[in-house]
Chain A
Amino acid sequence: MEEEDPAANKINRLTLAYCVISGLDILHALDRVDKESVINWVLSLQAHPKNEGTLENGQFYGFHGSRSSQFQSNDSGASTPNGSHLASTYCALAILKSVGYDLSRIDAELLLKSMKNLQQPNGCFMPIHTGGETDLRFVFCAAAICSMFKNWSGMDWEKAKEYIISCQSYDGGFGLIPGSESHGGATYCAVASLKLMGFIDEDALSKNARCHCINVPLLLEWGLQKQAVDGGSQGRSNKPTDTCYAFWIEGVLRILRADKFINKKALRESLLTCQSKYCGFSKFPRLLPDIYHSYYGFCAFSLLKEPALNSLSVELGLTDVAAIGLQSFGL
């Protein structure tokens, strides 16, 4: 998000909205949000088949990222172009959960059944049914979507697990695709997905832990080594630290119950150097803040148990309150 024309990000409007809403949730500030308006806007981005009950072959019925990929059906009766996107769907559902919307009001069967169309023979997921890059980000989105609906019919999780395993690099971290360099964001997607699917035990570090599918000790060392001399987190070995990796890496270690090994004081101090005088966080010190790094800065502070911040469900990317669904709406 380096100083780009905001219009250039408009395909990611839902992503921006997710960072804003979930960020406010972490800050205990959702009372400032017109929840009903948010819900209506998010639901208006949902894709629906032309005829209820008939799934057009191969399409995914999730959520669009913005109006630019969403088209009104034309009068000719031809099928509505459907550009709904897996990552946008994850963001949409995360927003809805954060503002207390009851997900059982959504036709999960339709969404999940059509989501399977996005899974590849090797277990990975593509983001839209017309094709796109396939990598671990979309495996995570799919796993999180299934988890939020508590319904795993949307993916073949054995195949997904095999794909994730194939992304573990020789150094213990995970790349976005098999063979790629291990990377903080990719590693979060891998480990969070495995956790959501139930393949990582509560006490992942004990000798008897049932997560033999991946090399946990090696992953642990890789993750811990990402805390650099300035106290912040790198995304890859020998690269500069960056605010968002504090969440991705810390999140991985939290899932492994290894966050006790992080030097929390040093991490906190490093993050504070990226806090802007305008509030929010930037990627590096002395840059202007942006929504993305601010959100992940708040997430990192939540994991550091900063007082006055809501706790996180790390593997879902939501507050615990949102994940469990403790808020009430419309009562």
Chain B
Amino acid sequence: MNQKVEFEVEEEEEERSRIPISERPEWADVRPLPQDDGPNPVVPIAYSDEFSETMDFFRAVYLADERSARALELTQEAIFLNSGNYTVWQFRRLILEALSVDLREELEFIDQIAKNNTKNYQIWHHRRWVAEKLGSNVASNELQFTGEIFSQDAKNYHAWSHRQWVLQTLGGWDDELAYCDELLQNDIFNNSAWNQRYFVVTKSPRLGGLEVTRDSEVAYAIKAILTKPENESPWRYLRGLYKNDVNSIANDPRVASVCVDVLTNEKECAHALNMVLDLLCNHYQPSIELKNAIDALSDNSDLELAKKVCSVLQLVDPMRANYWEWRKTTVPARD
């Protein structure tokens, strides 16, 4: 209780301690420019006095193209009030260049505001601009920064985009596959980590490309499937390793084998049945084990195997029953 009261008192003190810009001597020579909302504005916004004043002064320095230290400070205040304003960010970049500011300090500034704004496009864009100027020296810093974001939100889309950009532009690939593994050990359902894994095995200059990494990655995916067969991610990843070419998938006996294993043990796995259906529609010749696994799930012994799989899918995946019914109609005729 006491702590809460203390915190509230602190906040009030902070508000009282802000000196309006119009009362600051260093701004005495500047005439603030008010916003002209025009007649009958739609969705009018109720601005705070602090916000209005800050933007009025910003407008003044922006139109005067004043690229000074005080203007830089003002952009910081404007950003704290609204971190989504393109114009303010763009002008800040012009000032940073004009004043040749040490951009490592700027990175620290971004660290500060990014903490509570991890989904703001403008902040991430600004960070990329700064990192690009600083070059490959900051690669590990950027990887660490995104890693910190992921420790709070392992699927933050902006952070993943930034991380991919860092790897491609500044480097730092060496430990990335291991990092993906670490995230997947924490949460094997993390689709962002699976996507990153695909990014690494296809794009990393260190690993030799998909042709070289495919074999071990298939084993990795299969292990994940056997751990949690209901997890969509490794099934899609597995197909992706073969670039969704069903012929190539069919030629790898491990794929049909994992389907048999899953269907024998889990029985109602839609992803496994889906994989089997795609194989059969591509004229894959099923093993006895696979036929038996399907037969065990189906009452209807008259249907041919692919259509039988569709019927089972309608039962185990009723959300998509209409789709599996349609798939029945597109099963190619038997040779």
Binding site for B on A (CB under 8 A): 5-13, 16-17, 20, 34, 37-38, 40-42, 44, 67-69, 71-72, 74, 81, 83, 85, 127-128, 130-133, 169-172, 175-177, 179-183, 215, 218, 221-222, 224-225, 227, 229, 231, 236-239, 258, 260-263, 266
Contact = CB atoms under 8 A, between A and B. Distances in A.
Interface string B73-102: 000000001111111001000000000000
Contacts of A128: 86, 90
B320 A236 contact: no
Interface in B116-153: 121-122, 124-125
Contact of B59 (A6, A44, A71, A169): A71
A169 B239 CA distance: 11
B86 A69 contact: yes
Contacts of B321: 263
B63 A67 contact: no
The 8 A-B pairs of least Cβ separation, nearest first, read: A170-B240, A171-B236, A261-B323, A181-B195, A237-B191, A37-B40, A238-B189, A133-B125
B87 A170 contact: no
B84 A8 contact: yes
B233 to A, nearest CB: 6
B322 interface: yes
25 contacts: A6-B45, A6-B46, A7-B51, A11-B86, A37-B39, A37-B40, A37-B42, A40-B39, A40-B40, A41-B39, A67-B36, A67-B37, A128-B86, A132-B125, A172-B244, A175-B195, A177-B161, A180-B160, A180-B161, A182-B195, A225-B232, A225-B320, A237-B236, A238-B189, A238-B233
Nearest to B325: A261
Given A179-B164, A180-B160, A238-B233, A71 B62 contact: yes
B326 interface: yes
A7 B189 contact: no
Tell me which of B39, B51, B319, B322 has the highest count of chain A C-beta atoms within 10 A of its own C-beta: B319
B28 interface: no
Contact of B45 (A13, A40, A236): A13
B62 A81 contact: yes
A37 B37 CA distance: 13
B84 A9 contact: yes
Given A171-B236, A171-B240, A180-B157, A239 B191 contact: yes
A20 B43 contact: yes
A229 B90 contact: no
B32 to A, nearest CB: 13
B191 A67 contact: no
Given A71-B63, A81-B63, A133-B125, A7 B326 contact: no
B262 interface: no
B28 to A, nearest CB: 21
Given A40-B39, A169-B195, A237-B232, 14 more contacts: A6-B45, A7-B47, A8-B81, A12-B84, A20-B43, A38-B42, A68-B82, A133-B124, A179-B199, A180-B157, A181-B195, A215-B244, A225-B232, A262-B322
B192 interface: yes
B231 interface: yes
Tell me which of B86, B231, B232, B326 has the highest count of chain A C-beta atoms within 10 A of its own C-beta: B86
B35 interface: yes
